Amino acid sequence: MMMPSFRSTLILAMLALLLDTTQAFLAPTATVVGKASWVRLYQSTVTAESPPPPTKPFVADAVLDMTDDNFSQIIFDHPDQTLPPLVLVDFYAPWCGPCRLIEPIVQQLARAARPEELTVCRYNTDGLGSLAPFKMQLAMEGCVVRALPALVLLRADPTTTGPEPSLTVLEHWTGLHSREVIEEGMAPHLAAWRRDQGASDNQNKNNKGFLHMTSEPEDDYMLSHLNC
């Protein structure tokens, strides 16, 4: 029987020592950590290395979609208000790059506006000719939108009534403009709206309790005997 060489004995001894060291290292770890702990450790590692969660989505859209079917309702139909609000219309098309650039500004204006004072809308002009009902309504007021993007500030004429009330074009912006420029242009018209609203409220207050007398003989007799 051949005796193992010194070199073979040394290699076997080193392998045995390495095996004992590995078992000594792993055994306590498996005992202490356990299956559930390994799962928690894995989850914490994945959480630490995972990208942060996405930010909250953009707030609910505050801009109304105006069409040729509902523009009259948006502009004129406000039975719960003495005066209809001003209306800011964003004329756009899906293929218009600058329109997408001004969209965040329009959204900001809509969220900052008081609903009773200002309604902000967008009007998709894609595929619409110049004879579209809303465009025709604006054309009759001297406003023709020839380029995009375009913003138009409108006001329903409170002096007209009936099936076809009229409107007034207050401002017309073409191209890209900052929020400050648009707000500066709207400011005097909003101030005028507030003055008219205040005057209307005062008129309503003065009319409360007003007694309308008819010119009848009995009324004349009653009035002649009042101690005033």
Report how far residue 225's alpha carbon sits from residue 228's, in angstroms, rounded to the nearest whole number.
Answer: 9
Say whether 121 is catalytic.
no
Report how far residue 91's alpha carbon sits from residue 168's, in angstroms, rounded to the nearest whole number.
Answer: 17
Say whether 228 is catalytic.
no
- In the three-class reduction of DSSP (H, G, I as helix; E, B as strand; rest coil), residue 220 is classed as helix
DSSP secondary-structure letter at 65? E
- To which residue do tokens 């996405």 refer? 54
DSSP string, 112-141: HS-TTTEEEEEEE-TT--TTSHHHHHHHHT
Give the chain's length. Answer: 228
**Cβ atoms of 102 and 177 closer than 8 Å:** yes
The residues near 170 (Cβ < 8 Å, ≥ 6 apart) are: 86, 153, 154, 155, 189
Q: Which residues have a catalytic role annotated?
A: 96, 99
